[in-house]
A and B are shown apart, each in its own frame.
Chain A
């Protein structure tokens, strides 16, 4: 997993999100380099989705989020959308919409105001569908797809964004183990192919350790740790922040495997 670190793609400074009066993200600051694969991990309610939504511009936030398009920070929703493609945790698949129509909506930020797609846009969508082996589904309605197919279709829409930054919120949460690996392999392939910066929330810590260049551990809306997987994903750190006994094993190839361990204290109390 070699990555060429080129320049800052995204930086946030003291970013906070308040939802219905409750702070869900509290003063997060970080900088993410171009081409990096960053996994955002943390227990439920840690603020993972809120951080991603703030970056995408979906959640109202305080503080500064700077997306660089190579010429300086971009703040207008349209300009930002050209820089960031977003795959939400549960993408909305409108009833009656075909895969082709859905993927083409990914070109929205590139069209003139009130404009419609050109043949060039359709060619891009065609290429994205072919790249993800989805061309035979083009005319099919979204609700006819399986979970794995639907996830790939939402990725295809993100690809036709042609944005250098790809944000994904738990892209594997609805998939079985085989499809989880297939989707993450695909995301990593696309990142290397196209030089994308990938920021993704991940529930599965072993996957986070395997794919990410750096891991951001959030807890209670704050950045608890941010660094290389080996540094962040230790038994002590994970157990402390997840409030459980977590073991970190080292596989033969050197990768980390994160597993829940029996709670020794609980066992003693029970006996």
Chain B
């Protein structure tokens, strides 16, 4: 049952080999939670689509399989052009934010590092606000001006934080403080723009609090390549993130180049965050909540934290979106509000639990 070179066979039962074995059971549990969440997400919605028909329709879409679904054309359209793309978008965004958060926490050796703490969110917010208040082209679709401006802004925010942090020193604290400073500056610019264009405040606000609205598969198609490439880069660096926990000196003595690893992982995590923010707006706290749930439940090795954050991040936002769609039905609650409701108290618990380690 050796898997990915990390897990050892079940036949080895000494205390030492047991200690080396990463908890395989946790992977199965996480996958079960994801499947349950996706099933729940696809089954629940304003329009009545029978679950049996959904299952048959899913099987019908497997290549070389043909099955009568029993669904009307309208139900099929709702399922395949609205509910499933939205569900997958939520899963992809949740997974992207959770993996980026875990990666930032590893790179900066700080459990409170988060995509949003390093200026990414503030940069994205400024970019999107700039377009909304100044341009008549307010397309939100793929390659639309709002997501692209958010994308550029997120990368700009992280770049400013990285440059400022580097100039202030090489410590983790200096980078996080630089992130706080650049976020404050970018947010101030954004607030200034909003004050100058009060007529657009409603629209900007709608984007800022995060939402998972889809127009067919376009958002999923935009995010998926970033998720695949950047997620893979971070996943492949999971062991290096464990080595970085020893500090730069010891990582160097083990033959790694910490600066290079940090740069690669930051770039991957920033692109992933930017792509997620571009299609969903600002959805806070996923990047902190999910990796910490994994740490508390399973362990702190990034070989566990990265893959399980990816799976549970997807599950969390899938379920969160169901809540967003149904709690005030037929009105919709912004998903950012749901994650903040859960995330803010959790953040406080994390702070309390990590007392003495900060």
Chain A residues near B (Cβ < 8 Å):
53, 56-58, 77-82, 84-86, 88, 91-92, 94-101, 104-106, 108-109, 111, 114-119, 122, 125-126, 129-130, 135-136, 138-139
CA distance A88 to B246 in the complex (A): 11
The 8 lowest CB-CB distance pairs between A and B, nearest first, are A81-B255, A96-B300, A138-B19, A109-B255, A139-B19, A100-B19, A86-B253, A78-B255
- Chain A residues near B254: list those with CB within 8 A: 81, 105-106, 108-109
* 12 further A-B pairs in the complex, CB-CB below 8 A; given A80-B255, A84-B253, A95-B300: A57-B253, A58-B249, A58-B252, A77-B252, A78-B256, A96-B300, A99-B19, A100-B19, A109-B255, A114-B236, A135-B14, A138-B15
Contact B16 A130 (CB under 8 A): yes
Number of A-B residue pairs, CB cutoff 8 Å, is 108
Q: Which of B298-313 contact A (CB under 8 A)?
A: 299-301, 303
In the bound assembly, the distance between CA atoms of A242 and B329 in angstroms comes to 80
Which residues on the B side are within 8 Å of A129 (C-beta)?
16
Question: Within the complex, what minimum Cβ distance (angstroms) separates A30 from chain B?
Answer: 20
B252 x A122 contact (CB < 8 A): no
Q: Which residues of A contact B256 (CB under 8 A)?
A: 77-78, 108
- Known contacts A86-B250, A114-B237, A118-B5; A100/B20 CB under 8 A: yes
Q: How many residues of B contact A (CB 8 A)?
A: 36
CB distance from A242 to the nearest CB of B (A): 28
Decide if B6 is an interface residue (CB 8 Å cutoff): yes
- Cβ–Cβ contact B16 & A101, under 8 A: no
Tell me whether A56 and B20 are in contact in the complex, defined as CB-CB below 8 angstroms, given that A105-B246, A115-B5, A138-B15 are known contacts.
no
Contact: A95 with B357, CB < 8 Å?
Answer: yes
The answer to whether the Cβ of B196 comes within 8 Å of any Cβ in the partner chain is no
| Neighbouring A residues of B299 by C-beta, 8 Å | 96, 98
Note all chain B residues with C-beta closer than 8 A to A105.
242-243, 246, 254
Which residue from chain A places its CB closest to the CB of B299 in the assembled complex?
A: A96
Let me know if B253 and A58 touch, CB within 8 A. Answer: yes
Q: Are B242 and A101 closer than 8 Å at their CB atoms?
A: yes
B8 CB within 8 Å of chain A: yes
Most buried by A among B15, B250, B256: B250
Q: Which residues of A contact B138 (CB under 8 A)?
A: none
From 220 to 256 in chain B, residues with beta carbon under 8 angstroms from any chain A beta carbon are: 236-237, 239-240, 242-243, 245-247, 249-250, 252-256
- Can you sample 15 A-B contacts with CB below 8 Å? A56-B253, A57-B252, A58-B253, A78-B256, A82-B255, A92-B250, A96-B295, A97-B300, A101-B301, A105-B246, A114-B236, A115-B5, A122-B20, A125-B16, A126-B20
CA distance A101 to B246 in the complex (A): 12
- Closest B residue, CB atoms, query A55: B253
Question: In the complex, which of the residues A77, A85, A98, A115 contacts B19, with contact meaning CB atoms closer than 8 Å?
Answer: A98
B166, CB-defined interface residue at 8 Å? no
Candidates B9, B18, B249; contact of A139 at CB < 8 Å: B18
Q: Which residue on chain B has the smallest CB distance to residue A91? A: B250
- In the bound complex, how far is the Cα of B237 from the Cα of A115, in angstroms? 9
Query: A139 to B254, alpha carbons, bound, how many Å?
Result: 22
Interface residues of B in 15-36 (CB under 8 A from A): 15-20
Which residues of the other chain, A, contact B245 by a CB distance below 8 angstroms?
92, 94, 97
- Complex Cα distance A7/B343, Å? 61
Contacting A at CB under 8 A, from B270-315, are 295, 299-301, 303
Cβ-based interface call for B65 (8 A): no
Residues of A near B17 (CB, < 8 A) are 122, 126
Q: How many whole Å from A145's CB to the nearest CB in chain B?
A: 14
> What's the Cα separation between A99 and B245 when bound, in Å?
14
Chain A residues, Cβ within 8 Å of B9: 119
Instruction: Tell me the complex Cα distance, A260–B155, Å.
Output: 61
Q: Is the CB of A92 within 8 A of B246?
A: yes
A53 touches B249 (CB 8 A): yes
B243 x A116 contact (CB < 8 A):
no
